[in-house]
Copies of this chain bind each other. A is one copy, B any other.
Amino acid sequence: MSSQVLSTQEVVGVSGLPDTAWVRFLRAHAALTRELSSRLEAVHELTLSDFDVLVQLYYAEGRRLRRIDLARSVLLTASGITRLLDGLESSGLVGKERCDSDARVTYAVLTNAGVRKIEEARESHLADIEELFGAPFSTQELKQLADLLARLPLAHTSEACSA
């Protein structure tokens, strides 16, 4: 009951509008992604999701990842990944590679152009993140925030398996 108070209780300001942690979370996300993706798009012609996928590949062993694992790590659906990679493939940033041991799977592999792209885009994008997301906080607060965010569920909790 006590923890319900702040997340759902209407913290009604002068305007009469509810302003909860959840609403702030939503608004902050909308504002930040809008600005960050606009900058990333303008300078490097990449979507936030593009960048996200490229980074995952960049740090993966052999700079390759099964499409399905990629989907799960960036929280897209399988079809979302197919569409996104279509774009990155036609830009020449990633390539396909077949799996010898399982003909169902296709690997997404970072090309040399992809490596160059991510190394080139990293700096300015991280600077933008720092400016918009990092600057308002001290080191300790940022750690606090990271710890709190880490507690949020990344998948469905109850699968309602009645047994």
Q: Which residues of A contact B (CB under 8 A)?
A: 2-8, 12, 15-18, 20-22, 24-35, 48, 52, 55-56, 59-61, 73, 75, 126-127, 129-139, 141-146, 148-157
Contacts and interface: CB of A to CB of B under 8 A. Distances in A.
B59 A6 contact: no
* Copies of this chain: 2
B133 A17 contact: no
A6 B152 contact: no
B28 A154 contact: yes
B146 A6 contact: yes
Contacts of A16: 59-61
A144 B146 CA distance: 12
B18 A55 contact: yes
A21 B157 contact: no
B18 A146 contact: no
Given A24-B149, A146-B6, A148-B137, A73 B129 contact: no
A67 B86 CA distance: 37
Nearest to A9: B126
